[in-house]
């Protein structure tokens, strides 16, 4: 199942916060919550799944957005962007101490917000994986996020958003030249990656190389014969080694 990026807004100006939420929801992001102070943000981070945080530097509390940025860096592995009216040297230098993934100056347009978020997500994910490469917009690109909260998922880029795909929803993956066709329960995605490299990103107890051109999720195998397995009415060729592995697992 595809799931949009979940964003927490921390902004003490209610009008600006509501405007940001409208912009983001129109693009296709999901707003987890919209809060005004440090303490509220900390509680949301504890109890909700958050993929990215937008933080005003000046908040209506003793603790600032920079304090919140420090808290996120120390406790979570997610990106955050400072959204502020202040672009003076002192504020920027102070903000840099907590290494934000972006810095957006008010006022801004929807496109500015979208661009900042996408660049922050892209840099954060690629920084984790050290895995570059440019793809055209009609090709999906997967990027796993090293985050304990997201350990059951992988991110796939579709058009201008990163979607979370649950590992359990992936049925099989087929190699086709330089691309992979990732088949989920109800959708297909194209990913540019070698099959061997992709296999390393998936849970080892569920996903196996069934054939030189296929990775399969063993939980989705419906039937097997001497040459093939069947997943969701699709016949997939299997190697001799994989057949012996499956038969052994069935008899254990």
Residue 134 neighbours by CB distance under 10 Å: 7
114 and 150, same domain (yes or no): no
pLDDT higher than threshold 90 for residue 31: yes
Convert the pLDDT of each residue in 153-205 to its tens digit. 777 666 556 667 888 999 999 998 778 889 998 888 887 778 888 888 888 88
Per residue in 55-114, pLDDT (tens digit) is 999 898 899 999 999 999 999 999 999 998 877 888 888 888 999 999 998 888 888 888
Question: Which residue, among 235, 219, 233, has the nearest Cα to 246 in the 3D structure?
Answer: 219
Query: In which domain, by residue range, is 221 found?
Result: 141-251
DSSP-derived secondary structure for 176-200:
ETTEEEEEESS-EEEEES-HHHHHT
- pLDDT value of residue 100: 93
Same domain for 190 and 117: no
Q: Which of 18, 44, 40, 42 is nearest to 32 (CA)?
A: 44
Q: Which distant-in-sequence residues (6+ apart) come within 8 Å of 200 by Cβ?
A: none
Residue 235 has pLDDT above 60, yes or no: yes
d(CA 30, CA 21): 9
How far apart, in whole angstroms, are the C-alpha atoms of residue 246 and residue 234?
A: 17
CATH number of residue 238's parent domain: 2.40.50.1020
Q: What is the pLDDT, as a whole number, of residue 207?
A: 93
For residues 29 and 112, membership in a common domain is answered with: yes
Q: Are 103 and 56 in contact (CB under 8 A)?
A: no
Beta strands in 18-149 (DSSP E): 30-35, 52-56, 80-84, 102-105, 141-143
| Higher-confidence position of 139 and 202 | 202
Three-class SS of residue 54?
A: strand
Q: Are 182 and 125 in contact (CB under 8 A)?
A: no
Q: Show the CA angle centred on residue 205, arms to residues 200 and 208, nearest 5°.
A: 60
Domain end among 97, 129, 161:
129
Higher pLDDT, 238 or 123: 238
The per-residue pLDDT for range 203-229, each reduced to its tens digit, is 888 999 999 999 999 999 999 888 999
Q: Where does a domain end: 98, 129, 160?
A: 129
The residue-averaged pLDDT of 121-149 equals 48
Supply the pLDDT for residue 140. 45
For 14, phi then psi, to 5°, come to: -60, -35
Average pLDDT, integer, range 114-118 = 86
CATH of the domain at 76: 3.40.50.2300
**What mean pLDDT do residues 236-243 have?**
92
Separation between Cα atoms, residue 200 and residue 154, nearest integer Å: 12
114 token code pair: 């979208």
- Give me the mean pLDDT over the 28-36 stretch: 93
111 and 21 in a single domain? The answer is: yes
Q: Which residues contact 181 (CB under 8 A, 6 or more apart)?
A: 173, 174, 175, 188, 189, 190
Asked if 187 contacts 194 with a C-beta cutoff of 8 angstroms, the reply is no
Kindly report the average pLDDT of the chain as a whole number: 83
Number of independent structural domains in the chain: 2
pTM more than 0.75: no
Q: Which residues pair with 155 in a beta bridge?
A: 143, 164
Residue 138: is its pLDDT beyond 60? no
In a domain, 206, yes or no: yes
């Amino acid at each position: 199942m595809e799931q949009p990026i979940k964003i927490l807004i921390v902004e003490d100006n209610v009008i600006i916060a509501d405007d940001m939420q409208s912009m983001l929801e129109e693009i296709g992001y999901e707003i987890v919550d919209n809060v005004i102070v440090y303490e509220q943000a900390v509680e949301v981070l504890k109890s909700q799944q958050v993929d990215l945080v937008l933080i005003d530097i000046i908040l209506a509390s003793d603790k600032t957005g920079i304090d919140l940025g420090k808290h996120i860096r120390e406790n979570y592995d997610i990106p955050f962007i400072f959204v502020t009216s202040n672009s003076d040297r002192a504020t920027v230098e102070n903000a840099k101490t907590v290494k934000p993934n972006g810095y957006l100056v008010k006022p801004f347009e929807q496109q500015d917000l979208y661009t900042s978020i996408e660049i922050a997500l892209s840099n954060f994910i690629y920084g984790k994986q050290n895995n570059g490469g440019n793809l055209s917009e009609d090709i999906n690109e997967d990027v796993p996020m090293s985050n304990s909260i997201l350990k059951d998922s992988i991110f796939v880029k579709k058009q201008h958003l990163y979607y979370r795909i649950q590992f359990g929803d992936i049925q099989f993956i087929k190699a086709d030249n330089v691309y992979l066709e990732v088949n989920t329960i109800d959708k297909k995605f194209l990913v540019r990656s070698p099959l061997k490299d992709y296999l390393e990103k998936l849970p080892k107890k569920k996903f196996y190389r069934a054939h030189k051109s296929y990775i399969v999720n063993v939980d989705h195998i419906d039937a097997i014969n001497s040459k093939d397995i069947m997943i969701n009415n699709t016949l997939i060729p299997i190697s001799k080694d994989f057949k012996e592995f499956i038969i052994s697992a069935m008899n254990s």
